[in-house]
Chains A and B, each alone.
Chain A
Amino acid sequence: MSQKTIFSERRPEVPTAGNRLVKSVKKDFAGWGFIGPFMLIYLVFLVWPILQAIGLGFFKIDLLVITDRTFIGLQNYFRMFWGENMEWTLGNMWEWRIAGLLLLIPVFRGWRSKTLSTLESVVYSASLVVIFAGVMGLAPGDGGRWNDSLFWLSFGNTVLFVLLSTPVIVGVGLLLAMALNRPGRWTGVLRTVFFAPYVLSVSVLTLIWAFLLNPQLGLIGTFLEFIGLEPISFLTSPTLAMPAIVIATLWWTVGFNVVLYLAGLQDIDKSLYEAAEIDGASFWQRFRDVTWPGLRRTTLLVMVLQIIASFQIFGQVFIMTRGGPNGATRVSIQHIYESAFRDFNLGYASAMSVFLFLVMIVFSVLQFRFSRDET
């Protein structure tokens, strides 16, 4: 009898149905307990605001009386995307639209090399055709105008910044990484030098560069005078302000790309270089046949990350030029910020946020794919 009780006390070691249930409920409890605190904050401060933004875009909300909301349907979007005397023409912005349609080539190649699934390729191609062949043909005709031309001006400037900064910051990042990819103490010091500006905040960056670019006070103006040129007032020039901001941003953030490229270079099989050396390959041949293909995945990732970061440009222009001269450096986030906090129109700002969100999510999805794909 007593022996039996001992046995039955040991019984729980043997899994039974009820026992398993208790164990799995315990695991559920532990699992949810551990993720609970994070999930709560995540849902409230990240997921909920996204859903809110979509909803708020259909309202008119005044910053001064935020609880007073009027449902106005698609009017915010109408204001963004429409204007007077809208016309569809084949010739509107045709250079950009042809360039956009050329993106069908990488999609097709991605599909053929099975990087993209058929469904993805169809969705991407269809979107490209709809946007570039279709929608972008719309513009205000004679005597017409956009409802909010500043929206398009700032979006255009943002795209311009993305197009200028991405090749420059990615390209210089690659060159620096290749130059710094060698052992030795001194190279370590040099890496530190090129990376250091990355840890500065945007307001320190602007503090340094606004003065650096100042024609009277800055080093660059002095240097230009020294070599016998007129000092240039970069930040007040409509054509040079944006390139100047690209250069400042290059100085600030190129270290990030160098880090990713250095990691990518480390992953390339050293024996490939040795084989190339034995074959007597020149520097250019080694780059073309070993380095560049070996960095394919890294390059895709760095480019997409750079595009996402560039779309979010705000601090540099907001502090250094306030979007000037004459709107030449006004960017999307600044337009959203000012629509909300200067013009008190939070609903419209929400609608524009949704638009920017959708544009950027395309690239984020690509990043997500490249960072998880092997090869």
Chain B
Amino acid sequence: MSQTAVKATPRLLKPKVKQTLFLSLLSVFAAIWILPLIWMFSLAFSSNEALQISTNSLTPVDPTAENLIAVIQGGMTPRWMLNSVIVTGFTTLSTLILSAMAGYAFARIPFRGKKIVYPLVLAGLMVPREAMFIPLFLMFAEADYHNTYEALMLPRIAAPLGVFIMTQFMAAIPMEIEEASRVDGASRWRTFWSVMVPMSVPAMTALGIFTYILTWNDFLWPLVSATQREMFTITTGLASLQGNFAQATELGSLMARGVIASLPLLILFFIFQKQLVRGISIGSGGK
């Protein structure tokens, strides 16, 4: 009996020590991983004079918000942020509404032609969008529609991923819930809005946050379509400033723009991390 006790003690202890050691090691690695982000923030809050001397500090040197304030008050950055907010907001909203509507029909209404149309939509999942920007460019050029918000939004709304996600989710909602509302005499349209949409909030949050991030970060299409400076999004605008930075003179100001461009996403990410992770898993067919 005493023998087993002696044997058991180190066995119980060892994994715990190992676990702690392992987690500490992983934490060190995580700290290195996050360094580049911390560096961006600390440079953004350093004074430009201090940056002339050294750019290697991980805490703000001579801390000041002057770069941030200057960027918010002047130049094109506020306009680009506004463009991004408008384009991303409308794209996300439209994607959610149109995908939920189409998803509802595909999941619940037995209409003729569905067996042909749904596979056609699914096939769209396979289209690599980045390889298709030339014909899209020509289409909008012929209609003389470049440098507009619509041009920035419509191709992104055409993505079929949302329809796929919503169809899957709505097909899994129990039939009885919808039928109860239909028996009460509600039209399909009302049933959709008052029963199916509220029931689908989890899927729609995941889809919404995923769409928001992808749209905000779109680069190639806005680069091609919005060529006037005042129509840049923050993503293309920030890229346009990065051509030639040999010196550190602009560093603080550039990093401040980087901070401003990423803050809306980082905040959203910290609030909706779970939903985003869910969106990725469903969206890529991982389940």
Interface residues of A (CB under 8 A from B): 24, 27-35, 37-39, 41-42, 44-50, 52-53, 56, 61, 66-67, 179-180, 186-187, 190, 192-197, 199-204, 206-212, 217-219, 222, 251, 256, 259-260, 263-264, 267, 298, 301, 305, 308, 311-312, 314-315, 318-319, 333, 336-337, 340-341, 346, 349-350, 353, 356-357, 360-361, 364-365, 367-368, 370-372
Contact = CB atoms under 8 A, between A and B. Distances in A.
11 contacts: A34-B102, A34-B104, A34-B188, A35-B102, A196-B37, A199-B276, A209-B36, A219-B35, A264-B286, A353-B132, A371-B286
Interface stretch (B59-67, B173-181, B200-208, B259-267): B259-267
B112 interface: yes
A19 B93 CA distance: 38
A contact patch SS: helix
Contacts of A367: 126, 285
Nearest to B55: A217
Contact of B235 (A180, A202, A346): A202
B222 to A, nearest CB: 11
A319 B136 contact: no
A301 B130 contact: no
A298 B266 contact: no
B231 interface: no
B40 A208 contact: yes
Given A34-B192, A203-B238, A204-B258, A190 B269 contact: no
A162 to B, nearest CB: 13
Given A260-B284, A260-B286, A314-B220, 11 more contacts: A27-B110, A34-B104, A42-B121, A201-B219, A201-B234, A202-B239, A208-B37, A217-B251, A222-B56, A346-B134, A361-B126
Contacts of A337: 220, 224
Given A32-B111, A333-B130, A44 B104 contact: no
Contacts of A30: 105, 109, 111, 188
Nearest to B233: A201
A188 to B, nearest CB: 9
Interface in B128-143: 128, 130-139, 141-142
B127 interface: yes
Nearest to B276: A199
Contacts of A256: 280
A371 B153 CA distance: 28
B248 interface: yes
A228 to B, nearest CB: 16
Interface string B133-171: 111111101100000000000110111100100000000
Contacts of A364: 125-128
Contacts of B220: 314-315, 333, 337
A46 B284 CA distance: 19
Contacts of A201: 216-217, 219, 234-235, 238, 261-262, 265
B284 A31 contact: no
Contacts, number: 269
A311 B192 CA distance: 40
B277 interface: yes
Q: Sort A-B residue pairs by CB-CB distance and give the 6 closest, nearest first.
A: A371-B285, A31-B111, A34-B105, A364-B126, A45-B158, A52-B135
A37 B158 CA distance: 10
B28 to A, nearest CB: 11
Contacts of B122: 368
Given A260-B281, A357-B132, A31 B109 contact: yes
A48 B26 CA distance: 49
Nearest to A190: B30
B99 interface: yes
Q: Could you tell me the dominant secondary structure of chain B's interface residues?
A: helix
Given A38-B163, A52-B135, A28 B124 contact: no
Contacts of A259: 277, 280-281
Contacts of B216: 201
Contacts of A32: 105, 111, 113
B48 interface: no
Contact of A251 (B36, B236, B255): B36
B194 interface: no
Contacts of A315: 219-220, 239
Contacts of A34: 101-102, 104-105, 109, 188, 192
Contacts of B159: 46
A219 B37 CA distance: 12
A45 B155 contact: yes
Interface in B227-285: 234-236, 238-239, 242, 245, 248, 251, 254-255, 257-258, 261-262, 265-266, 268-270, 273, 276-277, 280-281, 284-285
B286 A298 contact: yes
Nearest to A339: B134
Contact of B130 (A35, A41, A52, A312): A312
B106 interface: yes
B126 A56 contact: no
B98 interface: yes
Interface in B78-122: 98-99, 101-102, 104-106, 109-114, 117, 120-122
Nearest to B163: A38
A27 B132 contact: no
Contact of A48 (B117, B139, B188, B277): B139
Contacts of A350: 134-135
B135 A56 contact: yes
A251 B219 CA distance: 18
